[in-house]
A = this chain, B = another copy of it.
Amino acid sequence: MKKVFVFVLTGCMLLSAPAQKIMGFTAPDAAKQLDWEKQFDGELKASAQDEYMRFLTSHPHHVGSPQGKANAEYMAALFRQWGYQVRIAEYQVLFPTPKLRQLEIAGNKNYKPKLKEAVLAADKTSGQLAEQLPPYNAYSADGDVTAELVFVNRGVPADYEELARRGVEVKGKIVIAKYGGSWRGIKPKVAAEHGAIGCIIYSDPADDGYAIGDTYPEGGYRPGDGVQRGSVMDMPVYPGDPLTPDRGATQEAQRLDRSEAPTIMKIPVLPISWEDALPLLQSLKGEVVPAGWRGALPITYHTGPSNVKVHLKLAFNWDIKPLYDVIAQLPGTEYPDEWVIAGNHHDGWVNGAADPISGMVAELETARAIGELVKKGYKPKRTLVFCAWDGEEPALLGSTEWTEDHQSELRQKAVAYINTDGNGRGFINAGGSHIFEPFFNEIIEQVTDPETGVSLKERKYAQTVVNADKTNRTKLMGNKYLKLGALGAGSDWGGFLQHLGISSLNLGFGGESEGDQYHSVYDSYDHFIRFIDPGFKYGVTLSKTSGRTLLRLANAAVLPVDFSSFYKTVNDYATEIKTQLEKTRTETEEETRMAKDQLFELARDPGKTYLAPAAKEPVPFLNWGSLENALVSLKNASEEFQQLYGNAPGLPADKQALLNAVLYKAERSLLQPDGLPRRPWYRHQVYAPGFYTGYGVKTLPGIREAVEQRYWKEAQENIERIAATLQAYTIQVKTAVGLLK
């Protein structure tokens, strides 16, 4: 009875409400699509996600582990069962694992670091000791070093400037850095650039431990012995197997010798818990750190050097290990050679529940539900490809090798890549190619938040306004449009977006999870269902969100792109950099004057060393004309495109086919074949991970990083280069306009 009532109500609403539009669909097709999406939602089961997760997290499933292979086979079997064509793509990659990890304080026999995480009764997989990878940083160098210790805060370049001003010498020392503030691989890289001979990274409780919330297992936050594993490969140079840049690491692939591989870290690096770090930090002498460097341990933090020597000895098994990427296809009925790709990784550092299985189970359930739709008659026009990557954790290995291996095919066929790494309770978070921004906004208007019953967009808007600084609130109020973030590094879109120019999105939820066990044994099923997404409500919501994205991309008559959004975003980036340049000019002038007037000398405590900042050359004026002209061309072409786009779904099919090819390949013209300065693998001229931030994205990186590094000649060259790139892109937009006329 209740069901009928609901149906009648829904029927009335459908009749009385105006037909809902969807980008790229005609009105009748939109109605059908919406009906399929409703059925799709109906298929999604939290219990299924729970079941997948139980299996996938049942044992440690890192690269080369038995469970890793079992997981690939489990998922392949599921995809097959759901009607997909499946293969497991195998690659052979360099994946070091620890042979010896030794950390000592010279002359202190009482210092016995655990270098491991405790077995907890409340966490049933924490005791799988024989299968676990112990805490380590993958691609650390082997090494046996003994030296005084220096505390380098987050270990980014600005921290070393502060140490230099305090007269603290890093050369020949071992550094200890806090996790956070940059991608971890930046820390040893910058340490090595400054002459350090070893690097220790620890998790300060100020960042993800007791300062933030109750620790595991009472609460969800990182306990005193929790350690963050992770890669320290120099991925901002290139990700993937260090021995096979720009080619798939197949059995027969040509390989660099390990000694030549530029992305392997040059010094030994070890991650430790704060309990193991505390005696090291207590051994530091020298001045008290700047206020911003303090952590939450009950000590006075000092810069060092320590009054004792620290001994760090690391050795690794430098083995070649197999990767298992699961690739499941549902061929398109009209455009089988246009691929809409979904992906996430399946490998974890240990049992990896939140990272990556929370995203993987949403992907699996999306695929299952689509399989059910197909049984009911749904026909994807374009081919849907579901990928489960191996080896993301060490270096985006699986996705990078696969995209390198299939690069020519992907250049031809890939329409978009949708990634879903890591999911939890809370608010929608998304980043990606800005041509998808209005498309993404349309979707989040139509998916309901499971906790409040309003749309994802309404809820995100509420969060944004309520948490805004009061001074900034006025301009946020009333504007519910959600800007996409830009994608740097952090998950498997790198090969697609930054190497091959395939428009990408990354989707996930977060903000209400209670505690982070990132890359720890405690990122487990037991932790996940208590603190991250109890009942998989947001797992199902992620399936709804990414599922709609895939279904619409698969069946749109005309792909849902918006060049004006891209133009506006790039124009904002250019403005940001110009503003930054002017700020740098002012600050440089001021600093020069301050040094000349001896203000640094006069302001410091005469009892302490605190040098003036290193003198800097004046900032030249750059020529922006070519970029500004390119932006105006792009603006005009994009606006013309958007004016005509509404009619596109009604065009004849052959014209649509031509148009779609232009639309999804447009992003390729944002690549330059020789890539970014000093890192040719990164070809995209708009989005890249920062060379000195790692995860942190740098937009228009050729210009932005040159300005940040004060490479003025390079900045000017890259203005010209990006101007040319945008002009090439504008030609694609104009071609699309031509087809729309």
Asked if A451 and B606 make an inter-chain contact with CB atoms under 8 angstroms apart, the answer reads yes
Known contacts A288-B213, A590-B473; decide if A603 and B298 are in contact (CB<8 Å). Answer: no
Interface residues of A in 469-485 (CB under 8 A from B): 470, 473-474, 477
Which residues of the other chain, B, contact A251 by a CB distance below 8 angstroms? none
Find A300's partner among B213, B288, B465 (CB 8 Å cutoff): B213
Interface residues of A in 579-613 (CB under 8 A from B): 583, 586-587, 590, 593-594, 597-607
Q: How far is the CA of A205 from the CA of B295 in the complex (A)?
A: 13
Asked if B602 and A458 make an inter-chain contact with CB atoms under 8 angstroms apart, the answer reads yes
Asked if B602 and A462 make an inter-chain contact with CB atoms under 8 angstroms apart, the answer reads yes
Interface residues of A in 259-303 (CB under 8 A from B): 288, 294, 296-300
Most buried by B among A288, A294, A512: A288
Whether, in the assembled complex, A491 has its beta carbon less than 8 Å from a beta carbon of chain B, the answer is: no
Which residues of the other chain, B, contact A221 by a CB distance below 8 angstroms? 300
How many identical subunits does the complex contain?
A: 2
Q: How far is the CA of A424 from the CA of B212 in the complex (A)?
A: 36
Whether, in the assembled complex, A643 has its beta carbon less than 8 Å from a beta carbon of chain B, the answer is: no
Most buried by B among A219, A603, A604: A603
Which residues of the other chain, B, contact A598 by a CB distance below 8 angstroms? 462
Interface residues of A in 175-224 (CB under 8 A from B): 205, 210-215, 219, 221
Q: Within the complex, what minimum Cβ distance (angstroms) separates A151 from chain B?
A: 15
Asked if B288 and A214 make an inter-chain contact with CB atoms under 8 angstroms apart, the answer reads yes
**Which residue in chain B gives the minimum CB-CB distance to A454?**
B602
Which residues of the other chain, B, contact A77 by a CB distance below 8 angstroms? none
Whether, in the assembled complex, A623 has its beta carbon less than 8 Å from a beta carbon of chain B, the answer is: no
Whether, in the assembled complex, A466 has its beta carbon less than 8 Å from a beta carbon of chain B, the answer is: yes
Find A603's partner among B288, B467, B606 (CB 8 Å cutoff): B467
Interface string of A556-598 (1 = CB under 8 A from B): 0000000000000000000000000001001100100110011
Find A299's partner among B210, B454, B462, B594 (CB 8 Å cutoff): B210
**Which residue in chain B gives the minimum CB-CB distance to A604?**
B466
Whether, in the assembled complex, A16 has its beta carbon less than 8 Å from a beta carbon of chain B, the answer is: no
19 other contacts beyond A214-B288, A462-B600, A466-B599, with CB at 8 A cut-off?
A: A210-B298, A210-B300, A211-B294, A211-B300, A212-B300, A296-B296, A297-B298, A426-B605, A452-B602, A452-B606, A462-B598, A465-B603, A466-B600, A466-B603, A466-B604, A470-B583, A470-B587, A470-B590, A473-B587
Q: Which residues of A contact B (CB under 8 A)?
A: 205, 210-215, 219, 221, 288, 294, 296-300, 425-426, 451-452, 454, 458-459, 461-463, 465-467, 470, 473-474, 477, 512, 583, 586-587, 590, 593-594, 597-607
